[in-house]
Structure 1
């Protein structure tokens, strides 16, 4: 914004005088701008701010849609290790639980003049949200991109380099994906996924189980989060050169699913120690 330079000349912070009304989240910065609460999130959650891999990200870069599930997601340079970080993470989940992105553009208003808004025009097309409806063939894997006419010289899986990178291979058949699923299914106390030839088959198999609706929804959410984390690990390898381990991916799936389900479901008293062993059969039938 042009006025930013004028503020810099007077050693004043523009962020102190503007509040963002979030639309699509493509202009406001998640950590640095005031868009939820009374100040920037970096001031309210300093421990999480120190963990952030990129503190300059826009709000839209932290918003994810996994099938029909929408959630806030973060990229940190390491996992949560202490009570302060975990407490701040849970508080942040609570702060953002009612926040959703919209189709409209972000707008800004002066804190001292709340009724006047300053529109921030988009310079580029809207940010694309990755839809993790993999079982509907929507993931832009290498084979899919090649079929769309995008020249991809190397079609091998970015993670295992053993087979062409198509949806089912990337999320189910890749040796690293299989190792991830083995750990997740063992944690959930469910049969291994290898009997399924597609993501669609896996989702259908869950729906056919003789279990309650709540249980099916819980398992489905964890499966979708697992798919998302596998896809995320692939992207971090390609775009950031980060070769995350299976152990780290599994830990992130457990933690993300715990926080999301605790915040979004009826299981408000879900205990982390029990969740780590998936010992919850007595509280969800």
Structure 2
């Protein structure tokens, strides 16, 4: 099999695997209206990996915007699709009297299907002092049009391209210091993926240790079982325990180098 054909086969397999993975997750947890993400995971069983991932959706939601196509998957008042904030935040008083609180963009775009134009409906007659606000409202949404033959798209506003990247997510998680994260030492090192993922978890202080169980509300004594002198933290377990330091010193002696370990796993990888 030539390399070009092998590359295409791997690419198709990756796409099919991703599609099957999305289908399995969606089938297990269900999806919210619009289909952009799954529903909240409320069960207490299982490893909780997707539950932890799903919790980050609200934090990422502020960095998402929507590019309207057909308008069938974008909420008219509550999604960010025509500016830097949703219409419910730009025009809260109009949103309060609007009958379009829980409708899709397509429902407000000429629902009769004759011609093109926006047709928002309010629950009462407008007062004189509200006319100017309605004019501003209409000017804002008239800059956008629904294209019924196109698909709605989600845009990652943190990057210039609008495409999600792990690097841009780091810039949100650690503002001003994302460049100091040791991603080269983790993801570009010639190590098995499981080792790289463990290093990534350790750098964020998220590996499963007694300290993490305490943070989750478990009442227990926190002592590292190898030394019984210090609390079981990520940095103590991997760097500063006397048993661990003996392994580090043995490793350094094999290469004939002298090395001073830093205070944290992240600083050590950066060093």
* Structure richer in strand, relative to its length: 1
Q: TM-score, normalised by structure 1?
A: 0.37
Q: TM-score, normalised by structure 2?
A: 0.38
